[in-house]
Amino acid sequence: MQPKKILIVDDEDHIREIASVSLELTRGWEVSMAGSGADALRIAPQLRPDAILLDVMMPGMDGPTTFRRLQDDPSTRDIPVIFLTAKVQAADRRRFTELGVRSMIAKPFDPLRLAIDVAAALEWV
């Protein structure tokens, strides 16, 4: 089976790095990284990842904005997006679900469970 391609979008270098190490080590997925929403919008159309892990609070373009821009682009519209967020309030969850976000993973995450949670959310058997 072809390893999954994942795009991690987070303004924090360390978090990007840890998430990437975690996904590579636990599942052997191919991880690409973007340090901002703008970078993500540039990279995603070419990369065509299987999923995007998108940080919600980012300077400049935040997660929801980036998500909407991805949705507006036909080439990235169908890529499932999972939010990485420190916000876990029910109201936020409702708001994000309504936007069309597939799932949310709370920060801090357990690096050993990250891939499991992503796979479960996207129903990857």
Partner 1 sequence: MNFAGMSIQRRLRLIIMMTTTVALLLAGGASVVVDFVSLGQITERDMNTLASVVSIDSTAPLTFRDRDAAREILTSLRAKPAVIEAAIFDRSGLPFVTYARQGSFAPGSLRDLRESPQSGHIEVFNDIIFDGEEIGTLYIAASRDIVKMRLRQYVLILGGILVVALVVTFILSSKLPEVVSRPIAGLAGVAREITRGDNHGLRADEPRNSTPSEIRDLITAFNQMLGEIDRHRNKLEIQVQERTAELSIVLDRNQAILDSAGEGIFGLDLDGIVTFMNPSAASILGSAGMGLVGRSLHAHIHAATCPDRTLPHDDCRVCGARLAPSVRIGRGKFNRFDGGAVPIEYTSSTIVDDRGKPAGVVVTFRDISERLAMEKMKDEFVSTVSHELRTPLTSIRGALGLLGSGLLGNVDQRAQRMLDIAVSNTDRLVRLINDILDLERIDSGRVDLNRGMVDSGDLMIEATEGIQDFAERAGVTVIADPSHLSLWADHDRIIQTLTNLLSNAVKFSPSGTTILLNGSARDGMYTFAIEDEGRGIPKEHLETIFERFQQVDASDSREKGGTGLGLAICRSIVAAHGGRIWAESEEGKGTTFCFTIPLYEIPADSPDERPVDAAYDRPAVLIVEDDNDLARVIGASLQANGLRTRHVTSGRCALAACKDEVPDVVILDLILPEMDGFEVVQWMRTQARLAHVPLVVYTAHEVSPSDQERLRLGPTEFMTKSRVSPEEFQHRVVELLAAMIAAEEVQGAA
| Identity of the residue, 112 or 120, whose beta carbon is nearer to partner 1 in the bound complex | 112
Among 2, 46, 78, 90, binds partner 1 (CB under 8 A): 90
- Minimum distance, C-beta of residue 6 to partner 1, in the bound complex (Å): 15
Report the distance separating Cα 66 and Cα 32, nearest Å. 17
For the bound state, the minimum distance from the C-beta of residue 46 to partner 1, rounded and expressed in Å, comes to 27
CA distance 71 to 13: 25
CA 32 to mean position of chain CA atoms: 11
Among residues 2, 59, 89, 125, the one that binds partner 1 under rule CB under 8 A: 89
Closest CA to 82 of 117, 112, 110, 108: 117
C-beta of 21 vs 42, nearer to partner 1: 21
Sheet containing strand 5-9, edge to edge, reads 30-34, 5-9, 51-55, 81-85, 103-106
Q: Which of residues 17-76 bind partner 1 (CB under 8 A)?
A: 18-19, 21-22, 25-26, 57
Provide the minimum distance between the beta carbon of 1 and partner 1 in the complex, in angstroms, as a whole number.
Answer: 21
Q: What type of residue is 99?
A: L
Site membership for partner 1, residue 91 (CB under 8 A): yes
Q: Does 103 bind partner 1 (CB under 8 A)?
A: no
> Of 109, 96, 45, nearest to 67 (Cα)?
96
Coil, strand or helix at 9: strand
Question: Where does this chain bind partner 1 (CB under 8 A)?
Answer: 12, 14-15, 18-19, 21-22, 25-26, 57, 86-91, 94, 97-98, 100, 107-112
